Amino acid sequence: MTQLLIINYHRILSAGETVPNRFRDFTLDKEKFEEQLFWIKKAGTDVVDLNDFEFCKNHQFFLALTFDDGKKSDVEHVLPLLQQYEFKASFFPVVNLIGTEDCLTWNELKYISQCGFSIGSHSMNHPSLTKLTASELQSELVQSKKILEEKTGKPIKQFSIPYGIYNQHIIKTVKESGYGIALTTRFRINHPGDISLMHRCNIRRSTSFSTFKKLINRNIATTRYLQMSSIFKYMLHQFIS
């Protein structure tokens, strides 16, 4: 069966760079990130663009890479390494944060797009979508898509859900707003067919290298085990919170 694992990153830090503690688990040191890319190459796993996955039908295990929040490190560290390893990827900026401290500028985002990488929306303001009124939700989805399309000159088909928090109404509204793919941060393997909702695995600072290797090693049994364990942890979290 054709399978796709999407792994999601946030910010990559170079030596000496620091961030406040609360963001730290969502960062990865550049050398660790490069080690992971090297391992993906070594494993021989095909890295595809999300928009192409529905055409992948040869019973393989595929990988896709995404980068949330539009951090400056996307252009400073991520882009050169992706080009070096010849990997495709999607980038998801928050429109109202573009040009602010530590985030990409419009010119940098356009450059990433011109280099052939996919740009998607991560909303206007990064709110929790389930807390918005209908018109606020509409604005976060439609306005961000429109602005990104005007700036990049390309259709914006992918939407990364802020905090990964969603319900069926949000998925329906994402679709109605003209996106082809809504991306969560729930750990599931994706299959071609209905790609309107796709799931991702967040790679965190606390993700061990051995877990990472198991993830991308086409070891389906291990992937299923990790998936079950992740679902169990999620249920436990729901139970205790």
Of the candidate spans 22-30, 35-43, 65-73, 191-199, the one that interacts with Zn ion by CB under 5 A turns out to be 65-73
Minimum separation from the CB atom of position 7 to Zn ion (A): 15
Minimum separation from the CB atom of position 91 to Zn ion (A): 12
Alpha-carbon distance 119 to 104, whole Å? 12
Residues 6+ apart with CB under 8 A from 25: 204, 205, 206
Of the candidate spans 61-69, 104-112, 174-182, 223-231, the one that interacts with Zn ion by CB under 5 A turns out to be 61-69
Minimum separation from the CB atom of position 8 to Zn ion (A): 9
Rounded to 5°, angle at Cα 147 from 146 and 148: 95
Question: Is 69 an interacting residue with respect to Zn ion (CB under 5 A)?
Answer: yes
Among 5, 68, 88, 180, the residue binding Zn ion under the rule CB under 5 A is: 68
Of the candidate spans 43-51, 68-76, 83-91, 229-237, the one that interacts with Zn ion by CB under 5 A turns out to be 68-76
Which residue number, 69 or 108, has a Cβ lying nearer to Zn ion?
69
Question: Is 140 an interacting residue with respect to Zn ion (CB under 5 A)?
Answer: no
Cα distances (Å, whole numbers) of residue 101 to 29, 72, 125: 19, 8, 15
How many residues bind to Zn ion according to rule CB under 5 A? Answer: 2
Minimum separation from the CB atom of position 131 to Zn ion (A): 15
Helices 209-216 and 30-43: crossing angle in degrees, nearest 10, is 30
- Phi/psi at 202 (5° precision): -70, 130
Cα distances (Å, whole numbers) of residue 157 to 71, 154, 161, 178: 20, 9, 13, 7
Interface residues with Zn ion (CB under 5 A) are 68-69
